[in-house]
Amino acid sequence: MYNFDEVIDRRHTNAMNTDGFRGYIFHADETMTFPYADEDFIRMWVADMEFATPDVVIDGMRERLDKRIFGYTRVFEKSYYDALSEWCKRRYDWTFDRKALVMSNGIIPALYELVNYICKPDEKVLFLTPSYAYFKYAADFNERGYMCSDLKSEDGRYHIDFDDLAGKAADEKTALFILCNPHNPSGRVWSENELRRMAEIIENNHMWVISDEIHCDLLRRNQKHIPLGKVMPDYGRLITCMAPSKTFNLAGMMISNIIIRDEELRKIWLSRHYNFDNPLSIAAAQSAYEKGEPWLEELQLYLDENFRFVGEYLAEHLPRAKYRISEATYLAWVDLSGYFEPDEHLPKFFAYKAGVLLEGGNMFVQNSEGFIRLNLACPKATLAEGLRRICEAVNTKHTEKYTGES
């Protein structure tokens, strides 16, 4: 039994979560002040957890520390591949050739590199919106164009507009499709039928595809993840990105698994990428895949309960909020357009009026006005206080609006 109710003080650890929110959310420096002290904020923004990394992972790092030398390191031993491959086989009935696996210090850096390697200067990247913003940023960084295919929402559940996606994929300058599987921020787990329809569009247009599957382990208990590589077993222009970072709260260890089938692209990657890895990160990731499954299964139960609690709380206190339990991730996607004007800056409102740090729809490219994204990977007590503050701030705003108070 693991203690996910423990409240851990992350101050003085150089944590992005506690110290980096001004720059990331508000593009401001330390002179930006709030009615709340930094330590009084409820933090529900950046996608790492308020839970301790599993003991078995920390033990794996300790064993590596005992080796006492931390020189230049790469993943040479087959045991790492075996751990990851067996994890994927056990959980998703899918695996991959060892030669296809290369390492990156994160999926975001990998996206930045791969867009450059794949897309010519006049070519474009395609992705589904709302979107994790770094898909767009990877195109921007490389001075490549991009196109968005808006998802359609039916009762809060998102669906792909396949006609729109096919039309944009058919543009001869659309070279690369970046898929988030499962999807961030909506939490959709794409079905086999949806993946096959996407695969058909990709294959018909001879496109490259990057499937970002970083959230694939974080499923609700009634869901099943299908790697895109499983429905496209022989398609060479597919890159799959996975990592232990979200699953086991290891984002700061900066290690990700990039599975590149195409030999020529892999050669480009290996010739240009700074190809060394942190020895402690390798030990942490391998230990997670070998021994972390019992912890993950308890985490899933805890997150399921947090998602259920949010639904009940919002239904009672913010009845015009539109909320559906995410099928994956630990991120809730909540539509507050019934309470706010489209141009309102929701992260600022909740920081100043509620003392809650969160991300608004403005951070997810487009097709996301009026939404907030809440990180539910926190102790139940923290979640309850965050929701109390959020609902109180919204209801106070509307009381003032309709009574003329200020």
How would you write the pLDDT of the chain (406 residues) with one tens digit per residue?
Answer: 899 999 999 999 999 999 999 999 999 999 999 999 999 999 999 999 999 999 999 999 999 999 999 999 999 999 999 999 999 999 999 999 999 999 999 999 999 999 999 999 999 999 999 999 999 999 999 999 999 999 999 988 999 999 999 999 999 999 999 999 999 999 999 999 999 999 999 999 999 999 999 999 999 999 999 999 999 999 999 999 999 999 999 999 999 999 999 999 999 999 999 889 999 999 999 999 999 999 999 999 999 999 999 999 999 999 999 999 999 999 999 999 999 999 899 999 999 999 999 999 999 999 999 999 999 999 999 999 999 999 999 999 877 665 555 4
Rg of the chain, C-alpha, whole Å: 21
Which amino acid appears at position 221 of this protein?
R
189 with 225: CB under 8 angstroms? yes
Please tell me the distance from the alpha carbon of residue 255 to that of residue 109, in angstroms, as a whole number: 11
Q: What is the pLDDT of residue 282?
A: 98
Q: What is the pLDDT of residue 337?
A: 96
160 with 128: CB under 8 angstroms? yes
394 with 165: CB under 8 angstroms? no
Please tell me the distance from the alpha carbon of residue 212 to that of residue 208, in angstroms, as a whole number: 13
Q: What are phi and psi of 194, to 5 degrees?
A: -65, -40
Identify the structural domains of the chain with CATH numbers, from first to last: 14-52+291-394 (3.90.1150.10), 54-289 (3.40.640.10)
Q: What is the pLDDT of residue 406?
A: 47
Q: What is the pLDDT of residue 401?
A: 64
Please tell me the distance from the alpha carbon of residue 21 to that of residue 355, in angstroms, as a whole number: 13
Which amino acid appears at position 182 of this protein?
P
Q: What is the pLDDT of residue 403?
A: 56
Give the residues across from 256 on adjacent strands: 104
CA atoms within 13 A on the CB side of 191: 7
Please tell me the distance from the alpha carbon of residue 118 to that of residue 262, in angstroms, as a whole number: 11
Please tell me the distance from the alpha carbon of residue 211 to that of residue 123, in angstroms, as a whole number: 19
For the purposes of burial, counting CB atoms within 10 Å of the CB of 93, is it exposed (0-12), middle (13-18) or buried (19 or more)? exposed
Close Cβ partners of 157 (under 8 Å, ≥ 6 residues apart)? 188, 324
> What tokens were used for 376?
């539910």
